[in-house]
Amino acid sequence: MINHQITIKDIAKQLGISASTVSRALKDHPDISDKTKTKVKALAKELKYRPNAVALSLQSSKSNVIGIIVPQIVHHFFSSVISGIEEYATDNGYNVIITQSNEIVDKEIKNCQTLVSSRVDGIIVSRTKHTTDFKHFQNIIDKDVPMVFFDRTCHGLKTDRIVIDDYRAAYEATEYLIKTGCKKIAHFSGPEILKISAKRMWGFRDALKKNNIPFYEELIINADNFEKGKEAILQLIKENNLPDGIFTVNDMSAAGAINILKSKNIKVPENVSIIGFTNGLVSTITDPPLTTVEQNGFEMGKKSAEILIKRIEDENEENIPYVNEIIPTKLIIRSSTKSL
């Protein structure tokens, strides 16, 4: 079993010409005669020759590979982003290596090291919830490997950043609740260490303030998944403190809330309006379907890849200032809120 991937040499030998001629013929170098080109190409096709990308990488010090580090692949938002990255990258001649940190900082560090070892041309990251020390990212930057952060970014690093305007999206969602008549509004929040959670919270608070709606500390409850969303509502019911509007940090939390409300015969949106965040699969499944903020992971992925590749391919990298791209969000209005 001569597991012999066909090389340029094999073609050269069979044709009795040199390897460099084959190489040139294959890439339509003007010096080569049409006759040789045809011969070479025909044989290459017949033998199903595929260039060895590894050899190309080594000799050009360019791998045409982009590395990704995300907390969890199984998560609608992240897999949308990955999908967007993959699509843009493939269309532009790059492959994509994927790694996940599982929200564990040590794994994130390891991922950085393997990606550097693999000599990826650039890295796209959304960090773990617990990453506070950015040394492992700085090491990469020091090696002149460009990085793009999305969604969960890191402050003080020389990288591009792709985010949504969490503050504004939250502000607008909250304002929509107000406009549709809600007077007592709660927020189911995420961990405050995450900038995005904090920003959504502040957008919420400011919208209340600007519209002269009272803000109650007890109506801010940490609840960023289905179970916690359920518990949060149960707690509010028990405290006899049910609001008439809720803005949640993500769709799952909203889905949990809706679930319990219905089981208690509390009508959505007649008694309680709800707005989620993400526009994932669940938002069409809940009953009523969920009004939510479209986060557009796919676009975010495409944009991340676009900016990263631009930076990889730009000669005078130092010239372009680092961008802080804001992907537009959109309030998707369904039936968990009253109409205007």
Partner DNA sequence: GTGAAAGCGCTAACAG
Partner DNA sequence: CTGTTAGCGCTTTCAC
Residues of this chain that interact with its own copies (CB under 8 A) are: 1, 3, 5, 48, 50-55, 57-58, 61, 63, 65, 72-76, 79-80, 82-83, 86-87, 90, 95-100, 110, 113-114, 116-119, 139, 142-144, 226, 252, 255, 259, 262-263, 281-282, 284-287, 298, 317-318
Phi, psi of 112 (to 5 degrees): -60, -45
Interface contacts to DNA, rule CB under 7 A: 5, 7-9, 16-21, 23-27, 29, 31-33, 35-36, 51-52, 55-56, 58-61
Structure tokens at 158: 């020389």
From the list DNA, its own copies, none, which binds 318 (C-beta under 5 to 8 Å, kind-based)?
its own copies
Give dist(CA 235, CA 326) in Å, integer: 36
Structure tokens at 37: 């080109």
From the list DNA, its own copies, none, which binds 9 (C-beta under 5 to 8 Å, kind-based)?
DNA
Report in angstroms how near the CB of residue 104 gets to its own copies at its nearest.
12
Nearer to its own copies, 117 or 339 (CB): 117
Closest by alpha carbon to 139, among 179, 108, 170? Answer: 108
Nearer to DNA, 59 or 212 (CB): 59
From the list DNA, its own copies, none, which binds 100 (C-beta under 5 to 8 Å, kind-based)?
its own copies
Give dist(CA 103, CA 114) in Å, integer: 17
What DSSP string describes 263-305? HTT--TTTT-EEEEEE--THHHHSSSPPEEEE--HHHHHHHHH
Nearer to its own copies, 239 or 315 (CB): 315
Query: Angle of helix 297-313 relative to helix 76-91, nearest 10 degrees?
Result: 40
Taking the mean position of all CA atoms in its chain, how far away is CA 84? 8
From the list its own copies, DNA, none, which binds 234 (C-beta under 5 to 8 Å, kind-based)?
none
Report in angstroms how near the CB of residue 7 gets to its own copies at its nearest.
11
Q: What is the dihedral of CA 151, 109, 223, 294, to 10 degrees?
A: 20
Nearer to DNA, 18 or 241 (CB): 18
From the list DNA, its own copies, none, which binds 156 (C-beta under 5 to 8 Å, kind-based)?
none
